[in-house]
Amino acid sequence: MISVLFVCLGNICRSPMAEGLFNAKIEKSGLGDSIKSDSAGTSTYHLGKQPDPRTLETLKKHGIIHHHRGRQVDFDDANRFDYIIAMDQYNFQDLKYMIPNGFKGLFLMRNFDHMEKGADVPDPYYGDPDGFEGVYRILDRSLDGLIRYIRDNHNL
């Protein structure tokens, strides 16, 4: 089983959206028995909280129902997950200090985006609902690239 952890700051907007969309994509592609995912935050801001209502509404608009409770990344996640995917450079840098040296599965989400490779996934928290739709579109293309990467590197 290949495992993927999506990480942002608070674990209520970008990372749970990535998790919900990723799960829908892997189920649709028949990989649900081969890949699992979760999401977490680098902060403790929203521990135990449900995703932002705008995140859930955006997913629902695209036919995805997602249930999640916010949690914080911990040192052992590097032992539980093959890939840890940061939504932006800020969280990527934090993760480099939180996970053990030698972990080879740490990536920026948009390393897999063919349109803006290496850019940050913007945080829509302080914006309007259109920002959540924009994040959805970025994640949609980036996750397609991540799934191709996993398939190619794990012969799926």
CATH number, domain of 144, equals 3.40.50.2300
- pTM comes to 0.96
| Of 8, 38, 52, 113, catalytic | 8
| Of 14, 54, 113, 120, catalytic | 14
Q: What is the largest CA-CA distance in the chain?
A: 40
- Kindly indicate the confidence band of residue 47, based on its pLDDT and cuts at 50, 70 and 90: confident
| Calpha distance 30→141 (Å, rounded) | 18
- Kindly indicate the confidence band of residue 101, based on its pLDDT and cuts at 50, 70 and 90: confident
Residue 152, amino acid: D
- Kindly indicate the confidence band of residue 48, based on its pLDDT and cuts at 50, 70 and 90: confident
Look up 123 and say whether it is catalytic: yes
* Structural domain harbouring 75: 2-154
Please determine, for residue 46, whether its predicted confidence score (pLDDT) is greater than 90: no
Q: What's the confidence (pLDDT) of residue 45?
A: 86
Per the structure, the count of domains in the chain is 1
Residue 10, amino acid: G
| Of 77, 82, 88, 123, catalytic | 123
For residue 82 the two structure tokens come to 């093959």
Q: What's the confidence (pLDDT) of residue 102?
A: 82
- Kindly indicate the confidence band of residue 149, based on its pLDDT and cuts at 50, 70 and 90: very high
Beta strands in 34-148 (DSSP E): 35-41, 83-86, 106-108
